[in-house]
Amino acid sequence: MRTLFLSFLLPACLMAGALCAHAQAPLGIALEVGSGPGQLGLEIHPNEECQGPAAIASAGAERIAVLDKVNGKIIVLADGGKHDVALPPDLLEPVDFLATSQGFLVVGALGEVVVVSRMGQVLARTRTDYNAEAGVPQLVALADGFALDDLNGKRTPIDLSKEQAGTPLATTLAAAASYAVAAPRASPNEILIESSQTTGPLAKIRLTSNMRIVDARVLWVNEEQGALVALHESRRLPDEAAYVRLVKVNTSGAADAEAYVQPAAFACDTRRPYVRRDDGTVLSLLFHDNTVRLQTILFSDIGKAEPLALASHLASTTLIAEYDDSLRGLERLNGVSDATNIALMPISASHILQRARAPLELVWRLKPSAFAQTAVANLCKPPENIWRRPRRLDDLLDKNVTGIPYRWGGYMSSLDSFTRHLDAGRLAGDDCTCRQANCVYPNSTGMDCSGFVSYAWNTGRYFTTGSLPDNKVSKPVTWHDLSPADIVNKPRSHVRLVESVHAGPAGPVVVVIESTANLSCGGVCRRSYTQAELQQAGYKPLRRVALSPASGDRDE
């Protein structure tokens, strides 16, 4: 991981071009990227989902906290400096948190919850029955405790007492979480959110837009000061686009200021990249290449803010060229000299889903030869050490495992190849990635994200996230027309295959099958995302060419 420091003079703006022209404060807080004390973890590699901070939150007394899931810690920023709060190393993939009177309440991707003091001492810990397939858990403060919300509206209680978990330092969190969208909605351009815990004009907040409002979430509310609401907006014409607009609401319940969140805030799939400080200012994370900073958002009068469409956040031209070279290298490793010189054979959507579920449901035995080998260090430190076992396999030696493990650059046209690889003594999986194709360890087996999609789509060869959008492979579709067997692709980063789409409390929910290096998955797994968060992160929907009607076709 590179160690970088971003000065307060915003050199990244010179590379990001138009980003500097938007309504943002001229100065911000630069965050040093690395793995040392006070440094923020950030891993951006080609053909892999970006790994960075999961969320930011207010920590009281003008302090801001950043949840660093890469380094497994919380970084607390204050005027007097910064300090780290270590999280337990076995907390799998921290994804959400909030500050309490006891310290910090943190939830992992699989629904485990811990309470740590400001010195990093584990004060309490509990597991929940949260279903990870229903989306990344959202930590919610209630009037009588805490809970985890999923994308389908199910609320899972957290079994921690008030003495164990403490009370939120942001005393308005429970009131903010109590708001719900009133149904039915009179118009897609208008939304009414209501709360039974708030009295007066703020008990009902009605907001409008000249675009379609997908969802509204109250971030902060105070009956004597007003409210801050995040709106997810979208349009279909002239081009399909998505937006996140922050709206300040006065004590009369009327919107009086607005700001659009920059696309760069969502470049690394951060779930909550903005936060309101105690003094009323709102900060946002901004990403560019391998740099991160916290910057103040400037608000405008209603109707005056420039809409900023969310899209794939492009890095510098030099980095894009470097990524494309690496992607071509991955294709060459899989025997493909020109990934787009191909005519795909017809296949039905039902057959694609059948193929996608096969590596998801495959049961195999993790033999000692596939678990570890004396001559190979379980370490990702390129170029000397380029194999690391996916963490989910650590406790499964000599046990049955469900699902093909993750391997960067991994592809196979038949699942029989996986069995043959294991019988030949290959190591299972490899989540060690870098920016060069020579980082792929040859004596391992598994699938990466695009290798899985290439298999499910039955392309007959390996395509990366950079080549999947080629018109000989796929064609763009709208989010409105997204269907099972389509994919959502973020070029040069990550791709997911759509299994189903259904309505949820925060808009359409997209259930996917994907192969990801995330610690909570480490291979092929089923997960759910809202359409809004996929759009925020820069994913684009694509449909395979030569898609045929359902027929009597059979898998291999």
Query: CB-hemisphere CA count at 13 Å for 285?
Result: 29
Give residue-wise pLDDT tens across range 88-103: 999 999 999 999 999 9
Q: Mapping DSSP to helix (H, G, I), strand (E, B) and coil, where does residue 365 land?
A: strand
pTM listed for this prediction: 0.90
Is residue 141 within 8 A of residue 134, CB to CB? The reply is no
Whole-number pLDDT of residue 19: 31
Whole-number pLDDT of residue 516: 97
The confidence band for 554, taking pLDDT boundaries of 50, 70 and 90, is very low
Amino acid at 228: L
Residue 267 has pLDDT above 90, yes or no: no
Distance CA 547, CA 549 (A): 7
Q: Which 8-state DSSP code applies to residue 493?
A: T
Q: For the chain, what is the mean pLDDT?
A: 90
Give residue-wise pLDDT tens across range 376-416: 999 999 989 999 999 999 999 999 999 999 999 999 999 99
Q: What is the mean pLDDT of residues 413-440?
A: 93
Residue 24 has pLDDT above 50, yes or no: no
Whole-number pLDDT of residue 7: 26
User: What is the distance, to the nearest Å, from the Cα of residue 186 to the centroid of all Cα atoms in its chain?
Assistant: 32
Is residue 244 within 8 A of residue 261, CB to CB? The reply is yes
Q: What is the 3-state secondary structure (H, E, C) of 64-92?
A: EEEEECCCCEEEEEECCEEEEEECCCCCC
Is residue 40 within 8 A of residue 33, CB to CB? The reply is yes
Q: Mapping DSSP to helix (H, G, I), strand (E, B) and coil, where does residue 350 land?
A: helix
What share of the chain has pLDDT > 90, as a percent?
Answer: 76
Q: What is the mean pLDDT of residues 54-73?
A: 94
Whole-number pLDDT of residue 321: 66
Whole-number pLDDT of residue 513: 99
Whole-number pLDDT of residue 313: 54
Whole-number pLDDT of residue 320: 62
Q: What is the mean pLDDT of residues 1-7?
A: 32
Is pLDDT larger for residue 324 or for residue 541? Answer: 541
Q: What is the mean pLDDT of residues 475-486?
A: 97
Distances (CA, A) of 531 to 17, 37, 535: 28, 36, 6
Q: What is the mean pLDDT of residues 142-155?
A: 96
